[in-house]
Every structure is written in C-alpha cells, then in structure tokens.
C-alpha cells in the first residue's frame, strides 16, 4: 500500500508494542486512553512535521512558485488516500477536519421541501450540528435513530426511519460515544434502495477498523486525520463519488476553487472538475505531507493487527470492569459492533466529574460522554495492560465512593 516502508526514518513493522509505546511521549507521561479525541504525537512523526513546516518557512514561503510547490507536495496525501481507499484522486478533497467534509455535503445539497435527514443518537456535534442548523432554518427534518448493542435491532430501526422522504442518511461509521461499528453495508443498502444519499462520518473508523470502501455503499465519506491516522491537527478529507460533484456546488469558495473565466464582459468561476473545488484559500499544505508519513506509519503497524490487539484488550477490560459493583458497560463487549472504543458508566458519578477525577488523581485521560452519563476509553497501539489495570483499579475505588454532589475530586 505504502510506497516506502519507513515513515520518518522508522519502520514500525519491525518494532515490538513496547518499542512503539516508547515513541509516544504522552503514553509514558500519563495514561493516555483518549486517542478517540486526538492522537498523541509520535516522536519521529512530530520531528518530520516540524521539519517540513520549518523548511517551507525558512526557504521563504512566498518565493516565486514556492506556495504552489508546497501545495503540489500535499498531493502525496491525496495519492496515498486514493491508493489505500481504492478511490480516485479526483474524488478527494483535502480539508481541515471531518466537520469541513460534512458541511460540504450539508451546505451543497439542493434541499427540497419535505426533505428528511436520518442520523443516529450517537453523533458527535460535528455530525449533528450541520443538520440541526438546517432543521432550525426550516429546511429539513432530522430523525434520530436510537442505537444499542444489537445489530438486528439497529438495522430494523434504520429500515423504519429511512423513507422516500429521506434525502440524506448521515451517520458515523464508528460512533463517537460508545464506539459502535455500525453495519454500514446493510444500512447503506436500505439507503440506496430508497434513493437517499449516504454520508458516512469516518472520523473514528479510518485507521482504526480495517476499511474496505468498495465493499459497501456510500456516497460521501468524511475523514479526520488527527485521530486514528496520526496526522497533524488540521488534516482531514472528504471522499466524494465523482458522479456527485456537479450536484454539490461548493458553498465556500476562494482562490483554488477553480479558474476565472471572463466571457463577453461577464466573469464566472469554472470549478475544478474534481473534489479540489472544495479546497481554497491559503493553507499549511506541509501538514498533508506529514499526514502521508503518518498514514504510512499506521499502515506499517497494521490496522488489522492493532485493531485485533485492541479488541482483545477491550474484552479483558469489559470483563474486569463488569465485575466492579456499580459499573455498567455501554459498549458491546465483542461481535461485529465492538471496537477499541469502550464506554461505561459508574453509579453515583456524572460523566464530567468522573473524567476529571480520573485525570486529577491518577493522570488517566479519558473522554466524558455526558449524553450517556458515562466515559469512553480508547485502546490504541501504544496502550498496554498496565494502562487498563490502572484504570480498573481507579474505577473500582471511585465506584466504592460515589462523588459528592457531582464535584470533581482534585
């Protein structure tokens, strides 16, 4: 998949899990169980990211042709994504994050009266607000499908929610709150049969679960670089099937969206005939070169290998937490819905104080999930048994002593 086996001078395929852990400063300075929010820096990748920006700046970023050179260099990320996801380079827009990608779709569709958007009850604000905005403006009606941990019930719920009025189904591939690996094949087929556009938010899936885009239906796929793909903050992409390009005119435009044409005294934009039409304005393109190296790094570790390891650690974590009185698991323990994101609640504790207390007393970093009155743990390649044992011990202590009036214990 990757052209060069090494990323930033290191070939992770040759390293043990312990050696990989040693490359991640945050993995040793604390119990970093929150890759699902942001990937911690990997030392050699950070060095390469810094060096790329520095070289560009030091060379004089406005030298003749320098900016366009930097922009062209960013195409390594586009080529990399195209190759690894089996899509065309013309179907990829390099953006700042997945929120950008979702908004391209939400703002680009020519909405009709009566249109509905189907989402889940586990969307991150990035996958919720673009649709709520449209609903608040009276443009669409949003229908939320409740999830759980039963595959057939989830498919049945989508079967009921997706109707001929559904214009867009916009769901996470892997959800943010409980890490549900949604059956996107079945849901996609229902959406397609009923003529709905399927936008998948891949923020928690790309680089986490083995991804085979040609294997299931989708119309647009949003990716964030700064989670499981270890890219610099501010990298992401929209993958859009080329047949939709003309249906989704860019809503935000600027230098880079296309070419200026003046005909009979009238000016117009000829948008690029590719997803580059959604890229505009002055940006730090060196980040995308660094993202390419990061993706190589992740692939050399092996997405499938790290996923299977994380799942196995997750099963043990489930079993240990389930045996603590007062702990209730939210995520699936195993099976097709399970991922390396594990969520649970602790009786007597609200999400925020629980998250804060774990941090202040034990330097354990997790994410609060107030929507489920719980917390979410991410198990990544740099985490090990010692992180999970520390978490279980801390949770057992807190479960035995519920918070007073929800205040964080500092």
Interface positions with ligand PLP (CB under 6 A): 37, 97-99, 124, 126-127, 172, 176, 201, 203-204, 224, 236
Identify which of residues 217 and 236 has a Cβ nearer to ligand PLP in the complex. Answer: 236
Three-state SS for the chain is: CCCCCCECCECHHHCCHHHHHHCCHHHHHCEECCCCCCCCCCHHHHHHHHHHHHHHHHHCCCCCCHHHHHHHHCHHHHHHHHHHHCCCHHHEEEECCHHHHHHHHHHHCCCCCCCEEEEECCCCHHHCHHHHHHHHCCCCEEEEECCCCCHHHHHHHHHHHCCCCEEEEEEECECCCCCCECCHHHHHHHHHHCCCEEEEECCCCCCCCCCCHHHCCCCEEEEECCCCCCCCCCCEEEEECHHHCCCCCCCCCCCCCEEEEEECCEEEEEECCCHHHHCCCCCCCHHHHHHHHHHHHHHHHCHHHHHHHHHHHHHHHHHHHHCCCCEEECCCCCCCCCCCEEEEEECCCCHHHHHHHHHHHHCEECEEEHHHCEEEEECCCCCCHHHHHHHHHHHHHHHHCCCCCCCCCC
Q: Phi first, then psi: give them for residue 165, nearest 5 degrees.
A: -80, -15
CA 170, 176, 181 angle in degrees (round to 5)?
Answer: 75
Nearer to ligand PLP, 7 or 95 (CB): 95
User: Among residues 17 and 129, whose Cβ is nearest to ligand PLP?
Assistant: 129
Question: Smaller CB distance to ligand PLP: residue 98 or 286?
Answer: 98
Q: Minimal distance in Å, beta carbon 277 to ligand PLP?
A: 20
User: 56 vs 131, which CB is nearer to ligand PLP?
Assistant: 131
Question: Least CB distance from residue 212 to ligand PLP, whole Å?
Answer: 19
Q: How far is the CB of 308 from ligand PLP (least distance, A)?
A: 22
We find the least distance from the C-beta atom of residue 155 to ligand PLP, in angstroms, to be 20
Question: Which residues on adjacent β-strands are paired with residue 198?
Answer: 169
Of 12 and 40, CB closest to ligand PLP: 40
> To the nearest whole angstrom, how small is the minimum distance from the Cβ of residue 9 to ligand PLP?
28
Q: How far is the CB of 235 from ligand PLP (least distance, A)?
A: 9
Nearer to ligand PLP among residue 124 and residue 300 (C-beta) = 124
Nearer to ligand PLP, 127 or 250 (CB): 127
State the nearest-atom distance from the C-beta of 76 to ligand PLP, in Å: 21
């Amino acid at each position: 998949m990757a052209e060069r086996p090494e990323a930033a001078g290191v070939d992770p395929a040759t390293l043990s899990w312990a050696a990989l852990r040693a490359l991640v400063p945050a993995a040793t300075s604390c119990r970093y169980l929150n890759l699902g929010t942001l990937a911690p820096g990997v030392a050699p990748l950070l060095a390469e990211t810094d060096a790329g920006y520095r070289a560009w700046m030091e060379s004089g970023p406005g030298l003749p042709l320098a900016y366009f050179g930097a922009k062209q260099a960013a195409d390594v990320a586009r080529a990399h994504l195209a190759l690894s996801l089996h899509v065309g380079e013309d179907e990829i827009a390099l953006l700042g994050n997945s929120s950008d990608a979702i908004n391209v779709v939400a703002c680009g569709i020519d909405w009709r009266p009566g249109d509905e958007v189907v989402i889940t009850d586990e969307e991150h604000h990035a996958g919720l607000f673009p649709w709520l905005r449209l609903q608040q403006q009276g443009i669409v009606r949003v229908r939320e499908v409740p999830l759980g941990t039963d595959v057939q019930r989830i498919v049945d719920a989508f079967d009921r929610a997706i109707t001929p009025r559904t214009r867009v189904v916009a769901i996470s591939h892997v959800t943010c709150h409980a890490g549900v690996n949604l059956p996107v094949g079945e849901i996609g087929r229902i959406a397609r049969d009923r003529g709905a556009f399927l936008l998948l938010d891949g923020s928690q899936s790309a680089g986490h679960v083995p991804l085979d885009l040609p294997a299931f239906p989708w119309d647009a796929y949003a990716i964030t670089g700064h989670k499981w793909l270890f890219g610099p903050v501010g990298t992401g992409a929209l993958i859009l099937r080329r047949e939709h390009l003309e249906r989704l005119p860019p809503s935000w435009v600027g230098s880079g969206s296309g070419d200026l044409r003046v005909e009979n005294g009238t000016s117009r934009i000829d948008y690029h005939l590719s997803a580059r039409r959604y890229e505009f304005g002055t940006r730090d393109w060196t980040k995308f070169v660094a993202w390419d190296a990061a993706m190589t790094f992740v692939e050399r570790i092996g997405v499938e290998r790290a996923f299977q390891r994380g799942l196995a650690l997750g099963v043990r974590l489930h079993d240990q937490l389930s045996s603590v009185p007062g702990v209730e698991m939210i995520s699936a323990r195993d099976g097709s819905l399970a991922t390396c994101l594990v969520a649970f609640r602790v009786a007597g504790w609200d999400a925020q104080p629980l998250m804060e207390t774990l941090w202040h007393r034990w330097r354990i970093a997790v994410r609060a999930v107030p929507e489920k009155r719980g917390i979410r743990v991410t198990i990544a390649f740099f985490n090990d048994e010692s992180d999970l044992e520390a978490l279980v011990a801390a949770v057992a202590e807190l479960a035995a002593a519920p918070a007073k009036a929800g205040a964080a214990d500092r």
